[in-house]
Amino acid sequence: MNIGLLLFLPYRSLETRVFAALARAGYDDFTAAQMKIMQRIGPDGTRLTDLAEQAQVTKQTAGFLVGQLEKGGWVVRTPDPTDGRARLVCLTERAKEAIPVADAAVAEVTADWEAHLGPRRMKRLRETLIMLREIADPYAHQ
């Protein structure tokens, strides 16, 4: 298997477990594509164009997904205080309430991985992935 697939498989497993935990908590009305947008929304909101760029989708696709998230009560669009012409996409209270559920699921997966790999290997894996982020993530230094 190539390295891309080897990186993707654990991510997909983590994502599946997070979605299952969210569904058990009653948060089951969003898709993976919508989550790709939602997880990029900053604490003070994010412009649609920035969400599209970060999610690597077109502005139209991001707009469609944000519209779906709005209908589901996950996000709202508010005026951007720094630019009266722009709008920010912000998480709702409902979305903020779901974050600890997702965080707990991620922590559980991380603990399972550490139990499987051992603490030293897990630490090295994390350090290695952080190093790769420096060259793989254009948003690493923002």
pLDDT tens, position by position, 20-31: 999 999 999 999
Are both 51 and 11 inside the same structural domain?
no
Confidence at residue 22, expressed as pLDDT on a 0 to 100 scale:
97
Domain that holds residue 138: 1-28+93-142
DSSP conformation class of 25? T
pLDDT-derived band at 137 (thresholds 50, 70, 90) equals confident
Residue-wise pLDDT tens digits, 49-103? 999 999 999 999 999 999 999 999 999 999 999 888 889 999 999 999 999 999 9
**Domain end: 53, 69, 91, which one?**
91
Region 10-25: mean pLDDT is 97
The structure's pTM equals: 0.86
Residues 23 and 57 in one domain: no
100 and 85 in a single domain? The answer is no
Same domain, 44 and 80: yes
Mark which of 56, 71, 91 sits at the end of a domain.
Answer: 91
Instruction: Please state the domain count of the chain.
Output: 2
| Residue 139, pLDDT above cutoff 80 | no
Rounded CA separation 94/25 (Å): 12
The contacts found for 95-101 with CB under 8 angstroms, 24 or more apart, are: 95/38, 98/22, 98/25, 98/27, 101/21, 101/22, 101/25, 101/27
My answer on whether 37 and 80 are in the same domain is yes
- Pairing of the two strands 75-80 and 46-47: unpaired
Q: Are residues 125 and 110 in the same domain?
A: yes
Same-domain check for residues 140 and 98 = yes
